[in-house]
């Protein structure tokens, strides 16, 4: 892990596009005001889940549209080549 770069608030304001591009590329910055660190600007790390917790899945399923299973099967039979 690399050390964050330190930039003044003025530099962030004046070179905003360059700094944001650097953050998007993975860099982290500590922003200072009058030489005092006041904020950290870093990329958001997205976390991919390998599974959805059962309560969350049940809540999603209960709020979704109702499926007519007979119509669903008929649609599958009509659209999918059963000889495959």
For residue 30, which of 43, 42, 18 has the smallest C-alpha distance? 42
Degrees (nearest 5) of the Cα angle 33, 16, 34?
Answer: 10
In order of their start, the domains of the chain are 5-41 (3.40.1620)
Mean pLDDT by 10 residues, the chain (84 residues): 87 96 94 95 82 87 87 91 76
Residue 21 and residue 14: Cα distance in Å, rounded? 14
Burial 45-72 (b: 16+ CB within 10 A, else e): eeeeeeeeeeeeeeeeeeeeeeeeeeee
- Tell me whether strands 5-8 and 36-41 are parallel, antiparallel or unpaired: unpaired
Q: What is the pLDDT of residue 6?
A: 96
Q: What is the pLDDT of residue 46?
A: 74
Q: Are 27 and 49 in contact (CB under 8 A)?
A: no
Retrieve residue 65's tokens. 């549209």
């Amino acid at each position: 892990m690399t050390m964050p770069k330190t930039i003044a608030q003025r530099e962030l304001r004046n070179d905003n596009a360059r700094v944001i591009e650097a953050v998007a590329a993975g860099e982290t910055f500590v922003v200072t005001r009058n030489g005092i660190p006041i904020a950290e600007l870093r990329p958001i790390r997205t976390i991919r889940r390998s599974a959805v917790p059962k309560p969350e899945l049940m809540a999603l399923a209960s709020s979704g549209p109702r499926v007519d299973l007979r119509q669903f099967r008929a649609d599958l039979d009509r659209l999918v080549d059963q000889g495959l």
